[in-house]
Amino acid sequence: MVKVRFAPSPTGKLHLGSLRTAIYNWLYAKHCNGKFVLRIEDTDLARSKKEYEDSIINDLKWLGMDYDEFYRQSDRFDVYRKYAEKLVLEGKAYYCTCSRDDILKRQNLSDNEEVYRYDGYCRNNTLKPDKPYVIRLKISEKILSFNDLVKKKISLDTKELDDFVILKQDGSPTYNFAVVVDDGEMGITHIIRGEDHITNTFKQLLVYEALNFKAPEFAHLPLVLGKDKKPLSKRLGSIDVEYYRKTGILPEALINAVARLGWGYENQEIFTIKDLIEKFDIKGLNRSNAIYDEDKIIFFNTKHIKMMKIDTLIKHFKEFLEATNLNLAGKMIDEKWLNFAIESIKDRHSTLKSLYDELLIFALEEIKIEKSVLEELNYLFSEKNMSLAYEKVKDYLIQIDINQIPGMEIENILRNIATEFNIKFGDLVRVLRIKLCGTNKSPDIITVIKLCGEIVKKRL
Ligand code: GLU
C-alpha cells in the first residue's frame, strides 16, 4: 500500500512551496487509495513554534486535506536515541566528543569557517564518554546512486560527505536521522519533496542502509520560480496559505493552481478536487522549474467561483467573512437572501473579497454615489421627461411589496413607464442603477431591485 507523508518544520507559516509538496503527497495518497501522514518535524527546538504547528494544521483543514496519521517528532526523542545507540553497538556509529574548535584547529581552519568536514578523529571510540558527546554515523567510501522518479538517476561520491552527526549533544536527533527513523518505522513508500533535499537524500540513504530499512522511492520536485526566474522562496516567502485565504481565494482553486505548478495532465487547466485525485500521478510531474504567477491564481479562482456548487460557495464565503472579520451589515442571517444574492452576482467575481464588496452594496442601509457617476446621473436627468418618469417609477416601487411581486411584472411596469414618457428603457435603467448601487456597473436591474428589497425605498 502506498503511504506518503507531509513533514513540515513548524518554523514558519505554510507557504507556497511546502503547500505544493503537501498537495502532491496528499493527491498521490488519495489517487492510490493509500495513506497520508502528517508529521511535524520540530527537532530544532529553538526555531520550532507551537503557533506555526497550529497554523499549518489549520491551513490543511481549511484546504480539506485530511490525514490518516499524525506524529510530532519531539514526542519521539526516545525512539531516535534508541536507534542511535543501537548503531553505536553495531559499530556503525560512534560517540564523538570533539568540539567545533577542536575540529577547526586540527585542520588549520579559521574560527569563522562555516563549512567544514569532520576528520574522523573519534571513529574508534566505543566507550560512552563521561563528557558531552554527539553520535556520528560512520560512512564508508563509495558511489551512492538512486533512481529518482522525476530526475532519473542521480549519484554522489560519499567522499563529498563526512561522518555526520545523527544525535546532538542535547540528545535530540538531527533532521537526516529522525526523518529516516520515522519514514522507516512508519512504512513510508514514496517521498515527494523539493529538489533542495537531494543532498539530504544521499545522507538519508546511508542511514537507511545502516538501520537495515528498505529505502522508499524518491521524487524530487523542481523549484517554483517567480516570473523573474528567481526562486520564489527567497523573495515571496511571505506568500502563505493565510494570505490566499484572506484575499478570498477558494481552497479548491488554490489546490488546482498550485497543483499545476509543476504537474500536468494533457492540456487540462481546470480540475475539481475529485478530478485531480483521479488524474494525479507522479508520471505527470515536470522535470523543469515551475513559474508562479499570481494572476494565474486569480484566473483559477474565477473559474472555481463559477463552477462551484452554490452551497459550498456559501460555506466558503462565510468562512472568508469569519477569517477576515468582515460582516454583511447584518444580512448574514437571511439565508434566502444570501443564496439569491450570491447566485446572482458570483459569475462576475474573481475573489470572495470582490464578491463581498458588491454584496455590501445591497446590504448597507446607505451608499455613496461616486463623483464620476454623479455626473452621468445629472446628464441622464437632463434628458426630456426623465425626471417625470423617475418620479413615477419611484411612486410605483415605493408602494409595492418588492419581495412579493414577480420580477417580470416589475420589469413590465418599468418598460411601460419608459414608453409612456418616450425615453429609452436603457436610460431609465441607468438612472435606477446609479441611484440603487452608486455605480454604473451591476447585475440586471430587476435583480438589483430584488436584492435591495425594502432598501429600494430609501435609496430612491
Ligand atoms: N522538515 C523538512 C522540511 O520542512 C521535511 C523534508 C522532507 O520532506 O523530508 O523541509
DSSP string, 88-106: HHTTSEEEE---HHHHHHH
All three cell numbers of 61? 483543514
Q: Considering the entire predicted model, what is its pTM? A: 0.93
What number does the ligand 1 atom closest to the CA of 6 have? 8
Mean pLDDT of the chain: 94
Query: What percentage of the chain has pLDDT greater than the value 70?
Result: 98
pLDDT digits (tens, 9 = 90+) for 255-293: 999 999 999 999 999 999 999 999 999 999 999 999 998
User: How buried is residue 313: exposed, middle or buried, by Cβ count under 10 Å (0-12/13-18/19+)?
Assistant: buried
- Rounded CA-CA distance 15/7 in Å is 13
CATH for 76-221, among 3.10.20.90, 3.40.50.620, 3.20.20.240, 3.90.230.10?
3.40.50.620
Residue 91 CB partners (closer than 8 Å, separation 6+): 126, 138
| Residue 394 clears pLDDT 70, i.e. is over it | yes
Closest CA to 218 of 254, 190, 249, 187: 190
| Residue 238 clears pLDDT 70, i.e. is over it | no
pLDDT at residue 19 in the model = 96
Regarding the beta carbon of 193 and ligand 1, being less than 6 Å apart is answered yes
Ligand 1 centroid to Cα of residue 244, in Å, is 23
Residue 245 CB partners (closer than 8 Å, separation 6+): 59, 62, 251, 320, 323
- Rounded CA-CA distance 6/281 in Å is 17
Tell which one of 15, 41, 202, 223 to mutate to probe ligand 1, the residue whose CB is within 8 A of the most ligand atoms.
41
CATH for 371-459, among 3.90.1150.110, 3.40.50.620, 1.10.357.10, 1.10.10.350?
1.10.10.350
pLDDT at residue 113 in the model = 82
pLDDT at residue 182 in the model = 98
pLDDT at residue 366 in the model = 86
Across 352-379, average pLDDT? 92
| Residue 235 clears pLDDT 70, i.e. is over it | no
Regarding the beta carbon of 252 and ligand 1, being less than 6 Å apart is answered no
Closest CA to 16 of 156, 188, 223, 220: 223
Regarding the beta carbon of 349 and ligand 1, being less than 6 Å apart is answered no
Regarding the beta carbon of 367 and ligand 1, being less than 6 Å apart is answered no
- Rounded CA-CA distance 200/212 in Å is 18
Residue 274 CB partners (closer than 8 Å, separation 6+): none
Ligand 1 centroid to Cα of residue 114, in Å, is 22
Residue 292 CB partners (closer than 8 Å, separation 6+): 16, 224, 225, 226, 227, 232, 236, 261
Sign of the CA dihedral 403, 405, 406, 411? negative
Regarding the beta carbon of 203 and ligand 1, being less than 6 Å apart is answered no
H-type alpha helices, 260-370: 273-279, 294-307, 310-324, 335-345, 352-363
The three-class DSSP label of residue 356 is helix
Q: How confident is the model at residue 331 (pLDDT cuts 50, 70, 90)?
A: confident
Residue 233, Cβ neighbours under 10 Å: how many?
18
How would you classify the pairing of strands 35-40 and 69-72?
parallel
Which CATH superfamily includes the segment(s) 3-69+224-301?
HUPs (3.40.50.620)
Regarding the beta carbon of 179 and ligand 1, being less than 6 Å apart is answered yes
pLDDT digits (tens, 9 = 90+) for 167-199: 999 999 999 999 999 999 999 999 999 999 999
